[in-house]
Amino acid sequence: MKIVRIHEYGGPERLVFEDAPAPVAGPGQVLVAVKAISVNPVDWKVCAGALKAVPNFALPQTPGGDIAGTVAALGAGVEGLAVGDAVYAFIGLTGAYAEQVAVAASSVARKPENLSFEEAAAVPLAALTAWQGLLKDGRDLAGLHVLVHGAAGGVGSAAVQIAKAKGARVTATASAKNAALVTELGADAVVDYRVMPVSGAAKDVDIVLDCVGDSLGFSLWALIRGAGTLARVAAGRDDPKPAEEAGITVTQVRVQPSAGQLGELAALAEAGAFRPVIAKVLGFAEARAAMELSREGHTVGKIVMRV
């Protein structure tokens, strides 16, 4: 099979498109014939060496965490799936840039029927990050005021839709050029924080999901009322202690694979309450170009590779 690897750290130019033995589904695993892969910022950070200090993280490595495809084989003990099923998964921070992937069954869910493989591949990492940041410990969002900072990105656009589907009032920050998109996704109010203070449009916020991690963080914390929550997807250099001292719960969102949560996201998608935003679809052989687009950071929505 074909696979994309890095043998040394650097930029997208370090990606090597090569042959490798096909994996085998071990006990509790699903072998997926991959149809589409999405590109996330963590992919090029891994290539640059962001994980090289992690124990047992050795080169060569295959980037990528998001896949959609069909079940090619089932390992011993796997139930609830069958060969040929259309599925999608977040497999972790590495391993997805390949034509076949063996992944824990606990990470794999059936693909939403109304989404293409390309659309489905764009969902897992970003939407699970938003889900786990907003719905930690089964939190009920009905009637709450949620502020999504950085709502036009992959995580932010998912968060707006999830919060709205769960009954929250949603205020979002986005640039003027992306305001219409974020409004279409369900935001009740959109603020271009570059030209006006967020406090002018958002007060008494229950949850802030910070997808940016910039210096605006301190002013956003001041908008959280009572025993509210600051969920940090992107942690900047600011110190969360002032927020904690004010009685705010501060959490750092570290996304985890979850077939159950992907199943719930699939239900939202099939009900028309959730859809991924796709910026561009490229071929698998264009992995370098896809990663470079992600690294440039100028696209709105997800970059996907068709396998």
Closest CA to 41 of 255, 194, 284, 307: 255
Could you tell me if 117 and 149 lie in one domain? no
- Is the per-residue pLDDT at 5 higher than 70? yes
Domain match, 230 and 285 both = no
Query: Is 169 among the domain residues?
Result: yes
User: Same domain for 227 and 137?
Assistant: yes
CATH number at residue 165: 3.40.50.720
| Residue 265 counted as domain residue | no
Question: Residue 303 in contact with residue 282, Cβ under 8 Å?
Answer: yes
Q: Is residue 259 part of a domain?
A: no
> Are 218 and 296 in a shared domain?
no
Tell me: do 143 and 99 sit in the same domain: no
Residue numbers of the domain that contains 176: 127-252
Tell me, yes or no, if the pTM score tops 0.85: yes
171 domain-assigned: yes
Q: Do 11 and 53 fall into the same domain?
A: yes
Tokens matching residue 134: 């907003």
Q: Same domain, yes or no, for 87 and 48?
A: yes
The predicted structure's pLDDT at residue 23:
97
**Residue 133: its pLDDT value, please?**
96
Q: Tokens 């910039």 label which residue? A: 214
Mean pLDDT of 158-179: 96
81 with 137, same domain: the answer is no
Query: Is the CB of residue 258 less than 8 Å from the CB of residue 128?
Result: yes
Cα separation, 120 vs 70, in Å, equals: 12
As a whole-number percent, the residues of the chain with pLDDT over 90 amount to 74
Averaged confidence pLDDT in the chain: 92
106: domain CATH number?
3.90.180.10
Q: Pull the structure tokens for residue 27.
A: 């006990």
Q: What confidence tens digit (pLDDT) does each residue in 194-245 have? A: 777 777 677 789 999 999 877 766 678 788 887 899 898 877 666 677 777 7
Q: pLDDT, tens digit, for every residue of 254-290?
A: 999 999 999 999 999 999 999 999 999 999 999 999 9
Query: Do 169 and 98 belong together in one domain?
Result: no
Is the same domain home to 116 and 148?
no
Alpha helix locations (H) across 90-223?
117-121, 124-134, 154-165, 179-184, 217-221
Number of domains in the chain: 2
110 within a domain of the structure (yes/no): yes
Amino acid type, 119: E
Provide mean pLDDT across the span 104-126: 98
Q: Is the pLDDT of residue 246 over 90?
A: no
103 and 150 part of one domain: no
Same domain, 108 and 192: no
Instruction: Give me the residues paired with residue 67 across strands.
Output: 37, 89
Q: Is residue 261 part of a domain?
A: no
Is 257 among the domain residues? Answer: no
For residue 137, is it within any domain? yes
Q: What is the DSSP letter of 23?
A: P
Question: Residue 109 — pLDDT band, cuts 50, 70, 90?
Answer: very high
